[in-house]
Structure 1
Amino acid sequence: MTSDSDLFQDALGQLGDVRPLARERREKRVALKKDSAVELNRHMRREAATRETAAELNPLAGEFAEPVDPWDPLEFKRDGVQNGVYRNLRLGKYRVDARLDLHRHTVEMARRAVFEFVRDCVEADVRCALITHGKGEGRAQPALLKSCVNCWLPQLHEVLAFHSAQKQHGGLGATYILLRKSERKRQDNLEKHQRRNR
């Protein structure tokens, strides 16, 4: 049985005068020294990788948000949320179990805070929460954080619905959010229903 190596050698023999290519010899090697430019480049790459990792962990779109008027109410409801449930949220009838105040936050700080707040609320089985963002009235960029919250919340799968708050909770400068049940809470409810049906 002929191996691939033997077949290759036979093919080379049939070609006639076949010689290996001469390798270039490098006589001088350049010794690279670590200088501040190399270290700076490494530091910048590390920071970029950290930002990319943070962006992967936080799916919220960063900078641009469709502008909202300071006096416009925010409203959003996913398919499947019952109208009565949404009406109760809008009217502030659910107990607010967690609050986040975004005053004095930059857009990037607010983006991180909103993402972490929603994640923490779901882990703690909070169903209704309140985000205070202000109206942003009379600013160079009016309603900036309000516009961002309006843009970010629908991007989060855990947010079922949201609506501008009632006057006693901050009015148009705050937003109620209705959150999905955590997986643990869903399992608990499923077990309770199964016990009742036995």
Structure 2
Amino acid sequence: MAMTDEELFLASMGDVTPLAQDKKAQLRRIKNEPTISQLAKRKAAEQELEFDPNYLSTEYVDLLDPHDLLAFKKSGVQDGVYKNLRLGKYQIDATLDLHGKPFHEARQALFNFVTDCHTKSIRVLLIRHGIGLNSKPFPAVLKSYTSKWLQEIPQVLAFHSALKCHGGSGSTYVLLRKSDEKKQENRERHAKR
């Protein structure tokens, strides 16, 4: 008579001894906490939803020589006004020092400073960026980006490297356009009656 599958199994397992019971693996129930990668993805998604009003570029910039002079004037700025700015004849109303600041911190500081000065009707600024002889990985990185950023800000009418007494080629005079309030004041003051 043929053996059934169950009988065959029991016959083949006859010499097997059970394992000792004290060597059981301990299983713990893990709480449903997000993994590190899930947390990073959530944070990235939240940052994408936040609006960053700072439009200053972080893309490639043509690097300047550390001793280059910065000079920029939008069309419509009178030559005499630009000459006075270049010669440091205007009173400096506010100063920003970017020396030693990391790239992203300097970008944010410059944006906030210019925006704040324009809202407060401050017209002439001095930006101290340094010449960048020892900046890494290339010389004059911050100076080069400062020049690019100032050209991207619509409130900036003109800028020029400062005189030696104000920092020379490591500093820049900046002329901002008038705020809407100041424009209105001038219109009222010069209106024909």
TM-score where L is the length of structure 1 = 0.77
Matched residue SS, 2:91: coil
Counterpart of 2:41 in structure 1 is 41
In the aligned structure 2, how far is the partner of 1:159 from the partner of 1:173?
19
- The answer to whether residue 109 in structure 2 is matched with residue 133 in structure 1 is no
**Which amino acid in the other structure matches residue 44 of structure 1?**
A
Describe the superposition over 1:74-115 as per-residue Cα deviations: whole angstroms up to 9, x where unpaired.
Answer: 000000001111011000000000000001111111111111
TM superposition shift of 1:132: 0.1
Q: Judging changes above 3 Å, is the alpha-carbon distance between structure 1 residues 166 and 34 closer, same or farther for their aligned structure 2 residues?
A: same
Match for residue 84 of structure 1 among 80, 90, 93? 80
In the aligned structure 2, how far is the partner of 1:147 from the partner of 1:43?
32
Question: Residues 147-162 of structure 1 correspond to what in structure 2 (within 5 A)?
Answer: 147-162=144-159
Match for residue 166 of structure 1 among 163, 166, 183? 163
Matched residue SS, 1:36: coil
In the aligned structure 1, how far is the partner of 2:61 from the partner of 2:95?
22
Match for residue 104 of structure 1 among 100, 107, 121? 100
The alignment covers a number of residue pairs equal to: 160
TM superposition shift of 1:45: 1.1
In the aligned structure 2, how far is the partner of 1:39 from the partner of 1:89?
51
Moved over 3 A (4+): 37-40
TM superposition shift of 1:63: 4.0
TM superposition shift of 1:59: 1.0
Q: Judging changes above 3 Å, is the alpha-carbon distance between structure 1 residues 77 and 106 closer, same or farther for their aligned structure 2 residues?
A: same
Contact 1:165 1:172 survives alignment (8 Å):
yes
Question: Where in structure 1 are there 5+ consecutive unaligned residues?
Answer: 1-32
TM superposition shift of 1:127: 1.1
